[in-house]
Amino acid sequence: MKMIGFKSTLLNATLAITAALPLAAAGMFTSAGSAQAATLSGSIGLVGTSVIPSGLGNPANTSIQFTDVKVTNNTSGDFLDFSPTLSGTGITINTLNLTKITDIPTTTLATYSTGNYTPFIDFGSRSLDGTTAFLTFDLDNSVLTRNTFSDGGIGYGVNEITGKFNFNGQTIATGLISGSLSGTSSGYELTLTAKAVSVPEPTTMLGLGLVGAGMVMSMSRRRKSFVQ
């Protein structure tokens, strides 16, 4: 009976430590961050000047440089809640270096790969829901269609380019870019649409700890009944 009691005590201690880990982690998360994780939904329009290298044909490698950024008045949803207001000040868009995938037969069109960009758009330090952090948009490897016109003009179709919005070190939304770019030194118009993703909150970790503690208590009662 003493051997059974010793094993029961050792197992109780082990399970208690295991159950305490999620509780301790929950405490750290709760004290380190806000009680509610930020989410992002809505859309924001960006316009400005783009520079595209001139030349006939569709080269193997080319680029698109974004020299300035302004925010249009069709911004909606959570994008309106940031502080400072998203007005274009402090926003930068990195140059896209494109690699040709293939020419489209019997046309002047060609498709280009963007590669992954982390970040592609840097919105700077912003505050949302009581948290101040850097907001960025990371671009997934996507495809652009380029058209070279007879007069030397160049245009790009931007359709369903995807990426992720990151804030305070977490992905808070997936993103979709649509728009157009034209000319060798002309304008661009981009619309970014955000769809919120679920972010685990500290209460989730606390719940795991409570469940683990409850299991230990239940198993402890059963073993005591057995020993008696």
- The arithmetic mean of pLDDT across residues 125-139, rounded, is 95
Instruction: Give percent of the chain with pLDDT exceeding 70.
Output: 69
Residue 219 belongs to domain spanning: 2-33+203-227
Residue 224's pLDDT is: 47
Mean pLDDT of 53-64: 86
Indicate if the alpha-carbon torsion angle 19, 22, 25, 27 is positive or negative. negative
Q: Quick one: 21 and 96 in the same domain?
A: no
Q: Which band of pLDDT confidence, cut at 50, 70 and 90, is reported for residue 143?
A: very high
Does residue 48 sit in the same domain as residue 24? no
DSSP H helices in 33-155 = none
Tokens at residue 67, please? 């020299």
Outline where DSSP puts E strands in the chain: 42-51, 61-66, 70-71, 76-77, 92-93, 96-103, 109-113, 117-128, 131-139, 143-148, 154-167, 170-182, 185-196
Mark whether 89 and 24 lie in a shared domain.
Answer: no
Looking at residue 18, its amino acid is T
Q: Which helix (H) or strand (E) holds 221?
A: helix 202-227
Q: What pLDDT score does 59 carry?
A: 92
What is the structure's pLDDT at 210? 44
Q: What is the pLDDT of residue 38?
A: 80
195 and 108 in a common domain: yes
Same domain, 22 and 46: no
